[in-house]
Structure 1
Amino acid sequence: MRHPPRSVLAAVAGAAALLGSVTVPVVTASGAAPACSVEYSATSQWDSGFQGAVRITNNTAAMSSWSLAFDFAGGQELTQGWNAKWSQSGTTVTAASESYNGSLATGASVSAGFIASWSGSNAVPTSFKLNGTSCNTAVEPTPAPTGPAEDGPPVLHVSGNKLVDAGGATRRLLGVNRSGGEFMCVQGRGIFDGPVDDASVKAIADWKANTVRIPLNEECWLGLSTIEPAYAGTNYINAVKDLVAKVKAHGMTPVVELHWTYGQYTGNSAGCSDVHASCQKPMPDMRYTPSFWASVANTFKNDRTVVFDLFNEPYPDRATSTTTQAWQCWRDGGSCPGIGYEVAGMQDLVDSVRGTGATNLILAGGIAYSNDLSQWLTYKPADPAGNLAAAWHVYNFNTCANESCWNSTLAPVAAQVPLVAGEIGENTCAHGFIDQVMKWFDDRGLSYLGWTWNTWDCSSGPSLISSYDGTPTAFGTGLRDHLRALNG
Structure 2
Amino acid sequence: MRLPLPRRSAKAAILAAALAACLIAAPGAHAAPAAPQLHVSGNHLVDSSGGRVVLHGMDRSGAEFACVQGKGIFDGPNDQASVNAIKSWGAAVNAVRVPLNEACWNGESYVSSAYAGVNYINAIKAYVNLLNSNGLVAILDLHWTDGTYTGNSASCSSAQATCQKPMPDAAQAIPFWTSVASTFKGDNAVVFDLFNEPYASRATGNTTSGWQCWKNGGTCNGIGYQVAGMQGMVNAVRATDASNVLMLGGEEYSNDLTQWLAYEPTDPDHNLVASWHSYNFNACANQSCWNSQIAPVIAKVPLVAGEIGESDCAGAYINPLMSWLDSQHTSYLAWTWNNWSGSCSSGPTLITDYNGTPTNYGAAYKAHLASLGGGPGGGTSGPLHAVGAGKCLDVPNQSTTAGTQLDIRDCNGGTNQQWTHTSSGRLTVYSGSGQMCLDANNSQTTAGTKAVIRPCGGGANQQWNVNANGSVTGVQSGLCLDVTGASTANGALVELWTCNGGSNQRWTLG
The two structures share one fold, judged by TM-score above 0.5: yes
2:353 is the alignment partner of 1:467: yes
CA distance in 1, matches of 2:369, 2:123: 28
Match of 2:256 in 1: 372
1:203 counterpart (85, 91, 103): 85
Match of 1:346 in 2: 230
Match of 2:61 in 1: 179
- SS of 1:485's equivalent in the other structure is helix
Q: How far 1:462 moved relative to its partner?
A: 1.1
Aligned ranges 1:414-433 → 2 under 5 Å: 414-433=298-317
Match of 1:329 in 2: 213
Q: How far 1:482 moved relative to its partner?
A: 1.1
Unmatched segments (≥5 aa) in structure 1? 1-91, 93-148
Aligned residues: 341
Provide TM-score, normalisation by structure 1: 0.69
CA distance in 2, matches of 1:390, 1:150: 29
Deviation per residue, 1:223-255 (Å, 9 max, x gap): 111100100001101111111111112211110
- SS of 2:277's equivalent in the other structure is strand
Higher RCO (CA < 8 A, seq sep 6+): 2
2:190 is the alignment partner of 1:306: yes
1:436 counterpart (309, 316, 320): 320
Q: How far 1:450 moved relative to its partner?
A: 0.2
Match of 1:246 in 2: 130
Match of 1:483 in 2: 369
Please tell me the residue identity of whatever aligns with 1:240: I
CA distance in 2, matches of 1:335, 1:293: 20
CA distance in 1, matches of 2:123, 2:61: 14
Match of 1:404 in 2: 288
Match of 1:194 in 2: 76
Q: How far 1:168 moved relative to its partner?
A: 1.1
Match of 2:142 in 1: 258
CA distance in 1, matches of 2:215, 2:189: 26
1:220 counterpart (83, 94, 104): 104
Please tell me the residue identity of whatever aligns with 1:468: Y
CA distance in 1, matches of 2:136, 2:88: 11
- SS of 2:363's equivalent in the other structure is helix
- Mapped contact 1:427–1:460 kept (Cα < 8 A): no
Q: How far 1:430 moved relative to its partner?
A: 0.5
- Mapped contact 2:247–2:273 kept (Cα < 8 A): yes
- SS of 1:312's equivalent in the other structure is coil
RMSD: 1.3
- Mapped contact 1:310–1:364 kept (Cα < 8 A): yes
- SS of 2:346's equivalent in the other structure is coil
- SS of 1:171's equivalent in the other structure is coil
Deviation per residue, 1:289-311 (Å, 9 max, x gap): 01000000000002111111000
Match of 1:64 in 2: none
- Mapped contact 1:203–1:468 kept (Cα < 8 A): yes
Please tell me the residue identity of whatever aligns with 1:176: M
Q: How far 1:152 moved relative to its partner?
A: 1.5
CA distance in 1, matches of 2:35, 2:367: 22
CA distance in 1, matches of 2:186, 2:301: 24
- SS of 2:301's equivalent in the other structure is coil
Aligned ranges 1:47-62 → 2 under 5 Å: none
CA distance in 1, matches of 2:175, 2:228: 11
Match of 1:275 in 2: 159
Please tell me the residue identity of whatever aligns with 2:39: H
- Mapped contact 2:39–2:188 kept (Cα < 8 A): no
- SS of 1:245's equivalent in the other structure is helix
- SS of 1:288's equivalent in the other structure is helix
Deviation per residue, 1:175-209 (Å, 9 max, x gap): 00000000000000011111111101111111121
Q: How far 1:460 moved relative to its partner?
A: 2.8
CA distance in 1, matches of 2:34, 2:280: 33
- Mapped contact 1:164–1:170 kept (Cα < 8 A): yes
Please tell me the residue identity of whatever aligns with 1:257: D
1:158 counterpart (40, 47, 52): 40
Aligned ranges 1:31-46 → 2 under 5 Å: none
Q: How far 1:329 moved relative to its partner?
A: 0.3
Unmatched segments (≥5 aa) in structure 2? 1-15, 17-30, 374-422, 424-510
The structure 1 segments of at least 4 consecutive aligned residues displaced by more than 6 Å after TM superposition are: none
2:52 counterpart (142, 161, 170): 170
- Cα 1:275–1:432, aligned 2, differ >3 Å: closer, same or farther? same
Match of 1:143 in 2: none
Q: How far 1:479 moved relative to its partner?
A: 1.1
- Mapped contact 2:103–2:161 kept (Cα < 8 A): yes
- Mapped contact 1:255–1:308 kept (Cα < 8 A): yes
- SS of 1:391's equivalent in the other structure is strand
Match of 2:339 in 1: 455
CA distance in 2, matches of 1:256, 1:279: 17
Q: How far 1:406 moved relative to its partner?
A: 0.7
CA distance in 1, matches of 2:344, 2:315: 11
Q: How far 1:150 moved relative to its partner?
A: 8.0
- SS of 2:252's equivalent in the other structure is helix
Aligned ranges 1:280-291 → 2 under 5 Å: 280-291=164-175
Provide TM-score, normalisation by structure 2: 0.66
CA distance in 2, matches of 1:276, 1:381: 28
